[in-house]
A = this chain, B = another copy of it.
Amino acid sequence: MVYRVTRRELFGAGGIAGVSLLGGSVLGSAVSCAASAHAAEFPWPYKKLDPAEVAERAYRDFRQGGCMFAGFNGIIGLLADKFGEPYSGFPSAMMSYGAGGVANWGTVCGALNGASAVVALFASGSERTAIIDDLFRYYVQTELPSFAPKNPRNDVELVPAKAGSPLCHVSISNSGYKLGSKEHSERCGWLAAEISARAAASLNARLEGTFESPLTIMPETAYCLECHGRDGEGPTQVGKMNCVGCHEDHTKAGTK
């Protein structure tokens, strides 16, 4: 079977700014992928999952491979168990690299990185961006965790708190829990479970054509982007993170 894929199918309509012609190489990969018995056409087909089941699965996965593996495999592992190929053929164990904000560098939270990666297997372009934006905003803006596993490894009570940032380093600091504590470990596992489950819920809704995020950019970030967004007077910057976590709000001094 030879399957022709368009650039729109590969990367979506508005995914990458400045994309040029589709070269032979990516097309080649997709063709050989789709032509094999076990591989699927890209994006892969998603099948509806129970978010509660995803959360419990992701929590168990966290104990095996850390936060990014959990965020990813809560969905792929469950799909593999229920439906086999192509999901069971994905080398999910690779995703453990993202633990601690990628090899403990403290950058993007692994739960978000893993959940974003699995969303990207099923959705592309503006649909993918909308689902990932919702995950990041939920993680940053909401007092979490609001999920607790049925059988936590450690008997702890966690006080929900806003991470305030999608960065592992900042999120853990803002939780108030001591590094290496049982609370720290459980919080990361519960968060990964909750983010993976939310990704599943969003993918379910997308399947039914009803996905819509209730979350928007935080007012304080929108305020900064008036000048520092892509079309602002500048200096302009990349990103949707909250600014005042790292930068002073210089407008207080009347310098805006």
Contacts and interface: CB of A to CB of B under 8 A. Distances in A.
Contacts of A11: 64-65, 93, 96
Nearest first, the 9 closest Cβ-Cβ pairs linking A and B are A106-B239, A97-B120, A107-B108, A246-B246, A32-B88, A169-B239, A103-B132, A179-B236, A94-B120
Interface string A110-143: 0011001101110010001100110010000000
Contacts of A238: 100-101, 104, 106, 168-169, 172-173, 179
Nearest to A106: B239
Contacts of A121: 91, 94
B20 A63 contact: yes
A256 B150 CA distance: 43
Interface stretch (A37-45, A156-164, A202-210): A37-45
7 contacts: A10-B64, A16-B64, A32-B88, A93-B124, A101-B239, A102-B166, A106-B241
Interface residues of A, number: 95
Given A25-B77, A173-B235, A179-B237, 15 more contacts: A11-B93, A19-B64, A26-B73, A29-B73, A29-B80, A32-B88, A33-B91, A43-B94, A103-B128, A104-B129, A104-B240, A106-B238, A168-B238, A172-B237, A180-B236
A168 B107 CA distance: 10
A178 interface: yes
Interface in A46-104: 57, 60-61, 63-66, 73, 76-77, 80-81, 84-85, 88-104
A219 interface: no
A22 interface: yes
